[in-house]
Amino acid sequence: QLTMALNSSTLLNEENAQGPKRNTECLKSLELQTPSSFQDNPLQQLQLASQEVLEKAKKSGRSKCPRCNSSRMFYCYTCFVPVETVPTKEIPTVKLPLKIDIIKHPNETDGKSTAVHAKLLAPDDVTIYKYPCIPEYEEKRHEIALIFPGPNSVSVKDIAFHLQKYTKEGVCASDDDCSREPLLKQARLEPEEEKNPNECISSSRSEGTRLKKIIFIDSTWNQTNKIITDERLQGLLQIELKTRKTCFWRHQKGKPDTYLSTIEAIYYFLVDYHQEILKESYKGQYDNLLFFFSFMHTLIKDAKCCTGKE
């Protein structure tokens, strides 16, 4: 499941309806859980900025978006900004090692999408497009990959090998010569581009550092076919995340637990990329991408506990 997030107002109304007594009982029951139960939840291990600002915003209720004046909880999912009760300066900012494009299905409900989390927390490196308005990737297929499972998808650790194949065969004589050639004929990166420190944050000279952009599709699994079959996405290197399990509260029935929400997919890809391609030890550099996700996960877990659904 490549999408979806929480309708915050629905959750909080449900939570508040239980009253302080049941909330207290719920929190006590959570405190009595064994350590092993927490180990089953990787969100417990994250190195996150203080979420006190979100706690305060939850208590004060919905607030206005500073741009469109809509009533929202925590952030505006159409303007991609925090609401008035959540000062921007108190929201962490994450610097990513490459750019991210998120292609959102037009029928995907804005308020249920976790894609906005990425834009809020890494605003300089994330761009959200609403399909069918997406960029043309044809000329830069040698430095772009698409996160999506499929028969030809590869693992993160194999990115370097496959990007080599995309770039090492040299430059075509003309656009006409390239038009129907296999991907091996894509243009080689210029030396100055490879060494641009703004594009590659690692000193590693691995072929994997040629990767400049990752594309994610934000939709339910039943809606992905319309986007993944678009001709503008054909021929891109496809990456599949097979080893992570979702913590998402809207997981689609009948789908494997390795089908991640959009923000989870972004986070886990970056962790693997950092270790497998940049060859650097991971010390929580991207954990704050789950700043909102982890907070909402806890709210929903508590609310379900209090209503007897868990």
Question: What are the tens digits of pLDDT across the range 51-102?
Answer: 999 999 999 999 999 999 999 999 999 999 999 999 999 999 999 999 999 9
My answer on whether 116 and 150 are in the same domain is yes
Clarify whether residues 83 and 156 are in a common domain. no
pLDDT beyond 50 at 181 = no
Closest CA to 15 of 6, 293, 102, 259: 6
Let me know if residue 202 belongs to a domain: no
Q: Are residues 150 and 84 part of one domain?
A: no
Strands (E), 148-249: 213-218, 237-239
Domain span at 77:
47-91
Does the pLDDT at position 194 exceed 60? no
Residues 272 and 123 in one domain: yes
Distance CA 230, CA 73 (A): 34
Same domain, 77 and 110: no
Residues 154 and 103 in one domain: yes
Angle 283-124-108 from CA coordinates, rounded to 5°: 95
Phi, psi for 285 (deg, rounded to 5): -55, -30
Are 304 and 252 in the same domain?
Answer: yes
Residue-by-residue DSSP string for 258-310: T---HHHHHHHHHHHHHHHTS-----STTGGGGHHHHHHHHHHHHHHHHTT--
DSSP code of residue 48: -
Whether residue 303 sits in one domain with residue 248: yes
Q: Is residue 242 part of a domain?
A: yes
CA 102 → CA 4, 30, 78, 92, 166, distances in Å? 13, 35, 14, 20, 23
Considering the domain architecture, whether residues 57 and 116 belong to the same structural domain is answered as no
Where among 39, 74, 91 does a domain terminate? Answer: 91
Whether 258 and 237 map to the same domain: the answer is yes
Is residue 269 located within the same domain as residue 244? Answer: yes
- Asked if residue 222 and residue 85 are part of one domain, the reply reads no
| pLDDT for the residue 242 | 77
Asked if the structure places residue 42 within a domain, the reply is no
- How many of the other CB atoms lie within 10 Å of CB of 219? 25
For residue 118, pLDDT beyond 60: yes
Question: Does 251 reside within a domain?
Answer: yes
Is 200 a domain residue?
A: no
On whether residue 127 sits in a domain, the answer given is: yes
Count of structural domains, the chain: 2
